Amino acid sequence: MNDERGSFSSQLGVILASAGSAVGLGNIWRFPTEVGRGGGAAFILVYLGFIFLVAMPVMISEFIIGRSARSNAIGAFQKLAPRKPWIVAGIMGVLGGFLVLSFYSVVAGWTLHYTIASALGQLTTDNGQQTTDFAQAFTVFVSNPWLPILYLAAFMLLTHLVVARGIRHGIERYSKLMMPLLLIIIVLLMAFSLTMPGAAEGIRFLLQPDLSKVTPDVVLGAMGQAFFSLSVGIGCLVTYSSYFSKETRIVKSAVNVCIIDTMVAVLSGFIIFPTVFSVGIAPDAGPGLVFITLPNVFLLCFGKMPVVGYVFALLFYVLLLLAALTSSISMHEICTAFISEHFRQSRRRAATIVTIICLVLGSFCSLSFGPWQDVTVLGKGFFDLFDFIVTKFLMPLGGLLMTLFVGWYLDRRLVEQQLTNDGSIPVRTMRPLLFLVRWVAPAGILVIFLNEIIPLFI
């Protein structure tokens, strides 16, 4: 139903929606964890290099595919390479969209729970009835058979309501609202964090690189974080770019998205590390940082500065919730666009189908932490299995196929036409970029993939 596809109404809408698809829990949760493990500033320097050498060329490849075909992730390859095996990249993207939205929404549901808890003051007060053992509280919550699923359903409903409204009135409108709000909250939280006693040590950790910390594992970790941070390789940006106008500048949009995504990640470091250093917590606290470690920080802040502690906790989880929502919308759109166009369904009906499927799959993932802890497939619960399939296989292989498709299969004139907006940008400025797409990005992705896969068979 191509007449219902719609399009973004402005360059700002393109940038904010695309940036919203990239900015997610990975920027605010996974990035600080990787920085802490990788030694701080040294990791960030390596990460920045890979953002622009590996991840951005994949993003540009997706933009070229999407705007050339003006179709969903699978339909794009059907149009550009009919009866060719390249369609596998699109199939992996749609499958990945369903799987990511399912397990991602479980964590987003946890975030919604913590947002409400922080609003009620349960993370910053201790009245004798509430526990301050946040590790135990987190375990009790996620192992509950029903409560996490209710929060998962509530979060899925929020995502559904945005996607069902379409491109301009849903995704673009709410991206223009949520992304500026997200950036404002980041600035406020950073101001709180940088004024805490002992924050200077956290700032040094982020700004003074110790190159002795750069090991092969750190390099590969930075490359993987750069690749996955931008949500490339899964067809999301193929879908979004199919709504781009002819005037949208692909390269400029990609650069702006990379800058916004990186800025959110780095500024999140300036929120978290000065805070954890100020209360004497190790910077490599790991994935429990957000739901176990930081609540202890908020409680300590509340004891010294009650208003600051309460506001800090509330704003932080609102920030997480907004980041989760902007990413979940993009994952939902991959699947909604495919069902709407391939099966000729209205957008609202397609969105409802996707929401129901992902709610069911997400419930399976949630129950992996509770009653179904012993139910495994290939030795993994549903949550870990979905995560494993997407991050180890679908995303890197999808990114590899897309760069090879644009760099080696698509007609060179079509690629240059998309990059130069029908000749309005000099071709010579695009040649270094084409080199990255054809050679550097595929090699980098292959290294990531082999590094992740080989240990599984040793």
pLDDT digits (tens, 9 = 90+) for 78-96: 999 999 999 999 999 999 9
Handedness of CA 56, 59, 63, 69 (dihedral sign): positive
Kindly give, in sequence order, each residue whose CB lies less than 8 Å from that of residue 156, ignoring residues fewer than 6 positions away. 105, 355, 358, 359, 362
Kindly give, in sequence order, each residue whose CB lies less than 8 Å from that of residue 308, ignoring residues fewer than 6 positions away. 192, 301, 302
The predicted structure's pLDDT at residue 288: 65
Q: How far apart are CA 9 and CA 14, in angstroms?
A: 8
The predicted structure's pLDDT at residue 351: 98
The predicted structure's pLDDT at residue 285: 55
For residue 416, how far is the Cα from the chain centroid?
A: 29
Domain residue spans in the chain? 8-101+167-345+390-457
The predicted structure's pLDDT at residue 91: 97
The predicted structure's pLDDT at residue 174: 94
In order, the DSSP letters of 57-79 are HHHHHHHHHHHHH-S-HHHHHHH
The predicted structure's pLDDT at residue 384: 93
The predicted structure's pLDDT at residue 281: 65
- What pLDDT digit, counting tens, does each position of 251-285 carry? 999 999 999 999 999 998 898 888 778 766 665 55
Kindly give, in sequence order, each residue whose CB lies less than 8 Å from that of residue 9, ignoring residues fewer than 6 positions away. 168, 172
- The low-confidence residues of the chain, meaning pLDDT below 70, are 1-5, 125-132, 279-288, 303
Q: How far apart are CA 273 and CA 193, in angstroms?
A: 8
Instruction: Give φ, ψ of 276 to 5 degrees.
Output: -70, -35
